[in-house]
Amino acid sequence: MATALQKYLKQSATYKVFSQFLVVFADFLDTLGKIAQMGVHVVKAILKREIDGKELLAQCDRFGVSSLPITLSIVGMTSIIVASQVAHEMVKQGGGNFVGMLMTILIVREVGAIMSGFAITSMIGSSLASELATMRVTEQVDAIDVLGVDSVSYLFVPRVLSGMIMMPFVVILASVVGVLLGAVTSDMFAGLTYRAYFDSAGLGLYMKDLGVCLLKAASFGATISLISCTCGFYASGGAKGVGLATTKAVVWSFIAIVVLDMVFAVLFFF
pLDDT exceeds cutoff 60 at 1 = no
What value, to the nearest 5°, has the Cα angle with vertex 185 and ends 183 and 190? 100
pLDDT exceeds cutoff 70 at 107 = yes
Provide the 10 A C-beta neighbour count for residue 99: 26
> What are the distances in angstroms from CA 227 to CA 65, 144, 221, 223?
21, 21, 10, 6
- Nearest residue to 179 via CA among 72, 76, 74, 70: 76
pLDDT exceeds cutoff 80 at 251 = yes
How far apart CA 231 and CA 250 sit, in angstroms, is 9
pLDDT digits (tens, 9 = 90+) for 92-103: 888 888 888 999
pLDDT exceeds cutoff 80 at 20 = no
Confidence bin at 11 (pLDDT 50/70/90)? low
pTM above 0.75, yes or no: yes
pLDDT exceeds cutoff 80 at 4 = no
Confidence bin at 216 (pLDDT 50/70/90)? very high
pLDDT digits (tens, 9 = 90+) for 133-190: 999 999 899 898 888 888 888 999 999 999 999 999 999 999 999 999 999 999 898 8
Length of the chain counted residue by residue: 270
Amino acid at 138: T
Q: What are phi and psi of 253, to 5 degrees?
A: -65, -40
Q: Which helix (H) or strand (E) holds 39?
A: helix 13-47
Q: What percent of the chain has pLDDT over 90?
A: 53
Q: Which residue has the higher pLDDT, 250 or 238?
A: 250
Average pLDDT value for the chain: 88
Q: Under a CB-based contact definition with an 8 Å cutoff, are residues 171 and 111 in contact? A: no
